[in-house]
Structure 1
């Protein structure tokens, strides 16, 4: 039986891709007015990003262990590769390590060192290897190689969500300013950091598109565009990338999802890039 790949709802994998590649998903959580809501399972207000008192929580070790157990059984003992949100952004990775300890070396946990479809691209790389009949070590190596190929950028329109989230690393002091800024953020070794401060949303988005094109640099790449309540903005980004990167094909376009939206707020636009051949795959785990 093939190795089974597991991820969490923070990967923002479209349902059709999850079904196509048989990827299992564990929901992350939102706590709202005493209710524990599971991302992708329970009804969550569409404007949850505007609820200043809502908070996010990781998947629990018990939830993860249940999914790993079923996945391991379905693999016929061949193993499970679990790809999760960056350990620097969510407690899910640490919870996954606790859960995986029950199964020894049969469950390999990979820190995607990213979020959204950057995590999804890592899970897809593992799932493609598994579908090709690769063994557990090879599937885990495919996931680890994909981590280093990923680049993520996001333009944030509202600073309040970032202030509350505490997820911005190394440059948080400037969040206290009253200046009208539209920060361009990037993922750096699993952390969300400031890439550039820009005065207007349009200039920030244009700068993000420039950064994406610099990263791709004429190579093949898979691209995803995310948004928070900003479908028009996402379409504009897709159009611009299509003109400048015609060889990359059509991007995946999805909402950023309620858990991640709580941290970046309405209007946010993000681009995730998986660059083919960015690095050589590691020889071993």
Structure 2
């Protein structure tokens, strides 16, 4: 059977044990803090990022260089992989997909590059689905199909204390950002078509978190489902949401609770609370 290797990027926020167990490789994106370029996951922590944002320091992000991805593909090919499936965050957020396409042209083995339209564990669940197919001896096409199906079935919702970070980073339109700030409302957002869209406007933070719980529980339904709860500098809020979802979702298979990394955090700001709903 062909050996299909799975690559993703650091914004999948997959737990390290899961990556090791399934042989998934994550290529880091870069966070630029002042004049320092730091790799997500190894050179800058979520806490350091949150502190920098709270001090209003300049923070930007950038894609991996095509050369970094090309080197990753070569190293994987050297281990005996016949084909690589490279799954990445939405091209609406980052040039990582484009960099992977460029790098794939230089790879010594075929590389299937996929824009999942996802981010965070929505992307992570896609990588896990592809890896499970590869482990069963499936082809690259079957692994891609599994990832794309998982992406199509997955929903992502999140709350932020302010839309300013998303506006500054160009991840949400100025009109939508103004809609939130002008009326002093708390925004609930969703990932739709690979883009961030305003879902609902709620008057208080506590009501927004309660409404997020309701939306996630309704979306999860009663079938088998995996859920991820993400946060940035809001561990108590995230732990409470995770606890409530364990009580409310009868078909819950796995629940992942984690702080997002610096790349996503740079665009959402401290106080982020998100949930990914991914039916099996």
Range class of TM-score, shorter chain = over 0.9
- Kindly report structure 1 stretches of 4+ aligned residues shifted beyond 6 Å: none
Contact 2:5/2:76, CA 8 A, preserved across alignment:
yes
- In structure 2, the residue corresponding to 1:102 is in which secondary structure? coil
Aligned counterpart, 1:29: 30
Contact 1:170/1:193, CA 8 A, preserved across alignment:
no
Aligned counterpart, 1:283: none
Give, in whole Å, the separation in 1 of the partners of 2:109 and 2:211: 43
Map 1:252-271 to 2 at 5 A: 252-271=256-275
Q: If the length of structure 1 is used for normalisation, what is the TM-score?
A: 0.91
Give, in whole Å, the separation in 1 of the partners of 2:24 and 2:182: 44
- Superposition deviation, residue 203 in structure 1: 1.1
Give, in whole Å, the separation in 1 of the partners of 2:224 and 2:175: 32
Query: 2:61 pairs with 51, 56, 62, which one?
Result: 56
Aligned counterpart, 1:147: 151
Aligned counterpart, 1:92: 96
Map 1:172-183 to 2 at 5 A: 172-175=176-179, 177-183=181-187
The structure-2 alpha-carbon separation of the partners of 1:5 and 1:171, relative to structure 1 and needing over 3 Å to count, comes to farther
* Structure 1 residue 222 corresponds to structure 2 residue 226: yes
* Structure 1 residue 16 corresponds to structure 2 residue 13: no
Query: 2:116 pairs with 112, 119, 127, which one?
Result: 112
Superposition CA RMSD, Å = 1.8
Structure 1 stretches lacking a partner, 5+ long: 277-285
The structure-2 alpha-carbon separation of the partners of 1:171 and 1:16, relative to structure 1 and needing over 3 Å to count, comes to farther
Aligned counterpart, 2:196: 192
- In structure 2, the residue corresponding to 1:242 is in which secondary structure? helix
Give, in whole Å, the separation in 2 of the partners of 1:221 and 1:184: 22
- Superposition deviation, residue 6 in structure 1: 0.5
Give, in whole Å, the separation in 2 of the partners of 1:236 and 1:25: 29
The structure-2 alpha-carbon separation of the partners of 1:72 and 1:149, relative to structure 1 and needing over 3 Å to count, comes to farther
Aligned counterpart, 1:168: 172
Structure 2 stretches lacking a partner, 5+ long: none
Between 136-145 and 253-262, the greater mean CA deviation after superposition: 136-145
Give, in whole Å, the separation in 1 of the partners of 2:174 and 2:163: 16
- Superposition deviation, residue 48 in structure 1: 3.6
The structure-2 alpha-carbon separation of the partners of 1:249 and 1:135, relative to structure 1 and needing over 3 Å to count, comes to closer
Give, in whole Å, the separation in 2 of the partners of 1:28 and 1:184: 26
Between 225-234 and 97-106, the greater mean CA deviation after superposition: 97-106
Contact 1:129/1:142, CA 8 A, preserved across alignment:
yes
- Superposition deviation, residue 273 in structure 1: 1.3
